[in-house]
């Protein structure tokens, strides 16, 4: 009798799947980007509008995911959908860019660890060998601590999805409690006022820096409102990437697929709430936040400064707990999503077969997780300036995944004739929005400064495409065999 091959185990509950999605949506960026990107580029109003629009767009796209998962309940998500609807070449393109979307989020979160420690405890990690990348110092102490966390959470993923899901749930609950506490403090504190939120649409940061200080002359005029909203809306795929990790774990659900859409909507809604709350509190509590951003010595961690003003030392602790949980849950969740995607691609021959092996003891794709750990260790070495580059790579990868899923839904609805006209409309809208995100990210458009890639991101994208072509050429014959084997009955 043929021995049964090890397989992924059904151990994920609805709560743990919500924790996976929400923990991936909310990472370091929701706590650090108010001062780095959101407030200068979009202000309070621009960011809030962009995040609401982004959340609504993601909900529209989520309906396509909820429709496709029961059709193809296997690890791989968008990659699996695309393979069924458009064939192996399109599937490889989708899968390859999704790997970029998920895997870049792990080193992205790890590079924020040094920033967290600096903001809360000072320079305790600034020791040993150090060097500079793009004007930012990278210290041996930061590398060691961030690398140790990456290895620890990677190993925890290897030990089994049930253990990983338990830790993920604890982290996300603590994250929600921290943000909600900050939200309540902002409502009741006399330090947080509407007057502090001006300029509500952001301001011309570069002009203010050249002038040496912010003034009302640098505020975005009415003609720049659309630009201020789009500057943040364009990175919505990065901001909300995480709800789409749910299909990656489809083989490990122990509940009905009918619950998927509700889990996705709740995760997206919670994500939008965290982004808007953190950004609004950072401005409302600080009368001089534009001056702090323009400060020649570097922008401080605005949300940390705001929390300390609202709650004293406890505010610092609250932010420390919240951002630490956000970073760690992001690392945990994207390890799971990346490894399941690589496992699925490997089973079909798109990646080397070693990534498709399941650990007999723990029921996890051990080799794929080990590879993710190794790649992620680049984050601490590159330093925090790489954050923006990883954001861009994640955004373009997620956008491509959204596009293929929406198009796959259109094809499947037309073929199976089992959906509504509203779902078809959502799928078409999802494809349109996804394509718009790709255009905004890749093509410089006059009047929309700060929306498209920087040159380092274009370089990383080019390298990733070249690597993808090389992988595809090397794996071509294995892809054919992998798809052939999948089509044969069991035991053949």
- Which pLDDT score is estimated for 254? 81
More confident residue, 137 or 435: 435
- Which pLDDT score is estimated for 296? 54
Q: CATH classification of 14-487 is 3.10.20.30, yes or no? A: no
Please determine, for residue 419, whether its predicted confidence score (pLDDT) is greater than 50: yes
- Which pLDDT score is estimated for 7? 66
Where does the pLDDT of residue 490 fall: very low under 50, low under 70, confident under 90, or very high at 90 and above? very low
The lowest-confidence range among 62-71, 142-151, 262-271, 454-463 is 454-463
The dihedral sign for the CA sequence 253, 256, 260, 263? negative
Once rounded to an integer, what is the mean pLDDT over residues 323-343?
Answer: 89
More confident residue, 35 or 211: 35
Q: Where are the domains of the chain?
A: 14-487
State pLDDT tens for residues 46-101.
999 999 999 999 999 999 999 999 898 887 788 999 999 999 889 999 999 988 88
Instruction: Please tell me the pTM assigned to this model.
Output: 0.86
Give the DSSP H/E element, type plus range, for residue 133.
strand 130-133
User: How many Å apart are CA 445 and CA 164, to the nearest integer?
Assistant: 43
Please determine, for residue 30, whether its predicted confidence score (pLDDT) is greater than 50: yes
Which residues, listed in sequence order, are joined to residue 297 by a DSSP beta bridge? none
254 vs 214, 293, 481, CA distance in Å? Answer: 55, 47, 31
Once rounded to an integer, what is the mean pLDDT over residues 414-433?
Answer: 92
In sequence order, what DSSP letters do the residues of 174-227 get, joined into one string?
A: HHHHHHHHHHHHHHH-TT--SGGG-STT-B-HHHHHHHTS--GGGB--GGGHHH
- Which pLDDT score is estimated for 449? 56
- List CB contacts of 201: < 8 A, sequence separation 6 or more: 42, 43, 45, 46, 219, 220, 224, 225, 228
């Amino acid at each position: 009798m043929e021995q049964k091959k090890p397989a992924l185990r059904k151990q994920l509950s609805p709560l743990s799947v919500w924790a996976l999605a929400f923990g991936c949506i909310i990472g370091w960026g929701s706590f650090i980007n108010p001062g780095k990107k959101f407030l200068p580029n979009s202000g309070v109003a621009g960011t809030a509008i962009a995040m609401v629009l982004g959340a609504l767009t993601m909900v529209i796209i989520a309906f396509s995911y909820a429709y496709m998962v029961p059709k193809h309940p296997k690890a791989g998500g968008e990659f699996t959908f695309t393979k069924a609807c458009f064939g192996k070449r399109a599937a490889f393109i989708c899968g390859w860019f999704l790997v970029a979307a998920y895997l870049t989020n792990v080193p992205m979160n790890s590079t924020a660890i040094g920033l967290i420690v600096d903001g809360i405890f000072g320079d305790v990690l600034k020791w040993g060998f150090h060097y500079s990348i793009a004007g930012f110092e990278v210290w041996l102490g930061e590398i060691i601590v961030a690398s140790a966390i990456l290895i620890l959470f990677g190993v925890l993923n290897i030990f089994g999805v049930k253990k990983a899901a338990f830790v993920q749930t604890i982290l996300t609950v603590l994250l929600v409690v921290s943000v909600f506490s900050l939200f309540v403090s902002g409502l009741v504190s006399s330090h947080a006022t509407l007057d502090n939120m001006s300029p509500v649409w952001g301001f011309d940061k570069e002009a203010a820096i050249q002038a040496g200080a912010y003034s009302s002359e640098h505020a975005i005029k009415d003609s720049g409102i659309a630009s201020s909203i789009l500057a943040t809306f364009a990175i919505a795929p990065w901001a909300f990437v995480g709800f789409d990790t749910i299909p990656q774990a489809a083989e490990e659900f122990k509940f009905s697929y009918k619950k998927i859409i509700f889990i996705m909507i709740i995760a997206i809604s919670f994500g939008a709430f965290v982004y808007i709350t953190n950004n609004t509190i950072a401005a409302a509590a600080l009368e001089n936040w534009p001056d702090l951003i323009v400060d020649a010595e570097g922008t401080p961690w605005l949300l940390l400064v705001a929390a300390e003003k609202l709650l004293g030392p406890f505010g610092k602790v609250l932010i420390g707990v919240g951002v630490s949980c956000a970073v760690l849950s992001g690392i945990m969740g994207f390890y799971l999503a990346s490894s399941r995607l690589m496992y699925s691609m490997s089973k079909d021959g798109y990646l080397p077969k070693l990534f498709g092996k399941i650990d007999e003891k723990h029921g996890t794709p051990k080799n794929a997780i080990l590879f993710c750990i190794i790649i992620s260790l680049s984050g601490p070495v590159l330093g925090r300036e790489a954050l923006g580059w990883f954001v861009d790579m994640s955004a373009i990868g997620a956008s491509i995944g959204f596009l293929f899923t929406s198009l796959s839904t259109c094809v499947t609805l037309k073929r199976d004739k089992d959906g509504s006209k509203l779902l078809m409309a959502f799928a078409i809208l999802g494809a349109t929005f996804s394509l718009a995100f790709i255009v905004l990210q890749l093509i410089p458009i006059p009047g929309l400064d700060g929306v498209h890639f920087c040159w380092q991101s274009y370089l990383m994208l080019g390298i990733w495409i070249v690597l993808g072509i090389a992988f595809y050429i090397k794996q071509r014959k294995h892809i054919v065999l992998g798809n052939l084997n999948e089509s044969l009955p069991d035991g053949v």
